[in-house]
Structure 1
Amino acid sequence: MAVAATLFLLAGAAPATAACEAFTGVVEAFNAGDEAKARAFAAAAGTANCRAGERTLIGRIASLTVFNRITTAVGNGEKLSDHQALLEELQTQYGGPWQVLDALGDLARDRKDYEQAARLYQLALEDSANETLTPDWMAPDAQYILRLDRLASEMRLAAPRPVQLAMRGGCKISFRGVKIKKKSTPVRYVFGTADFTPEGEEAAKDLAECLKAVKPASIRLIGHTDSIGSTEANYTLSLARAETLKAYLSSVGYAGAIATEGRGEDQPFKPDDASAYDTEMLNQLNRRVEVDVE
């Protein structure tokens, strides 16, 4: 069971008072740890003199008030899974914040629902980067942003079906000033060949759409393999797979320069918790092409 990734937030770090009274009230309820009042202010915000963005943020603060209590309970020895229903309720009712999505991602990963975990970690990453809904006092630090990206990438590689690189619009390579230079893609190939599987082609299409959105001037595709087969054959195969992806991206309209490189089995993927996977799944994580945005 993975340890829940949670953050305590200092009550004194609440945002400045806004125009609507419900916003002021929910901040005070958050500081006091009063869940009932926080939820009440969130419910009243729809009829109060609050702008749409303020109403959404009020809901996020109410959700975070509840989340802090869950964090304390887990820190005192309770299981995060015991709070799954409440976390799901917070996601449904308030849409976040990223801390709730991150915790739900941990739970999905623990039950080996890698597809759902990939979506939740990606949503947490994108939510954390929304500076309107996630003001600085609520935001993760740089290391946690990198953790969210790493886990989202790992879950995409482990998922049986392709999961989009972005859940809410165009792809990003910078989150709150933290640059994500390298992405591991879940492009799958027929075993022992450089031919896409149907799932691999779908993932390659998703990557192409991201590159069209981001428009980097150049990228480097770095192929990796598992350790099955000879070292020499794996070098050749890893480069061939990177070349196949290069040809595809060029054919569908990516106009930047593409360099390719094969690393074979030399740089195995480093999962967050290798003990969670069997040998076949570890091999699947190792079969990847990394996109290095130069």
Structure 2
Amino acid sequence: MRVVITGGTGFIGKKLSQELVAKGYQVICLTRSSRPSEISGVRNVVWDGKTSAGWLEYADGADAIVNLAGDNIASGRWSAAKKKSILASRVDAGEAVSEAVAKAQNKPKVVIQGSAIGYYGNCGPEPVNEESAKGGLFLSDVVEKWEASTASVEEHGVRRAIIRTAMVLGNGGALGKMIGPFKAGLGSYLGAGHQGVSWIHIKDEVRAIIFLIQNEKCKGIFNLSSIHPLTFNKFADTLGKVLGKRVWFRAPGFVLKLVLGQMAEEVLLSGQFVMPVKLISAGFNFNFPDADEALREVLKP
């Protein structure tokens, strides 16, 4: 059994690789680095992020290709060059996957296409699901093009599942950046704090991806998000409680926009209350449905 992962050296990709190896899969991680994998049982293969050159043989007959590649959206202020990189890194990787599928003699069984709940834009208090409309933000447009980049694999008879992932709670990612300030008693509410925070525990994220790989009836769009989204105010309070720290500060929205520009507006001050309707309907059960329990598991000694 073979799974090819783009973005396999990232936060989600590493955890997914480890779990797949534990389940007996051969894991091929596509990376720009020539260094061997740190994970036993995972083979790193160098690629250019744009084509199938150098890894087509691994796509041929693969059980799955999981496309998680993409530039970090929250690494600072968005310049024109940064926004171009955010989009191009995702579309280029998706088109490389499509090229590999088209050229493969034995088509992969499934393509798991990475995506994000940013598709829904800045939503109000009403929950959204997989049938909800696209938002009007820059990230909404990025996600739309990201998802479309692998649409052609379906023309070759390959099943495709799109995973619109929420904020992933684990030792890394967005939470990893928040823990330090909160531990130091410098945790802060962001803006008014009413924006929705949809999240998923890293273990449930990985379980959901493997669930979609293994269940042949699962195709189309799936929200990978807990059934209990929170406002940012409530999420900050919960994180503070788990760490034994009270949240005293509030970062005004206008200050965040002044410092971080559009990134703050779309990533920090926008939000959605996302429901995983299709995932639940397919039979998936969350091990960590509540934020308090999820954070305690992530932050346990």
TM over 0.5: no
Give 1 or 2 for the bigger CA radius of gyration.
1
- Structure (1/2) with the larger helix percentage: 1
TM-score by length of 2: 0.27
Greater strand share, structure number = 2
Return the structure number with greater relative CO, CA threshold 8 A, min gap 6: 2
**Scaled by the length of structure 1, what TM-score is found?**
0.27
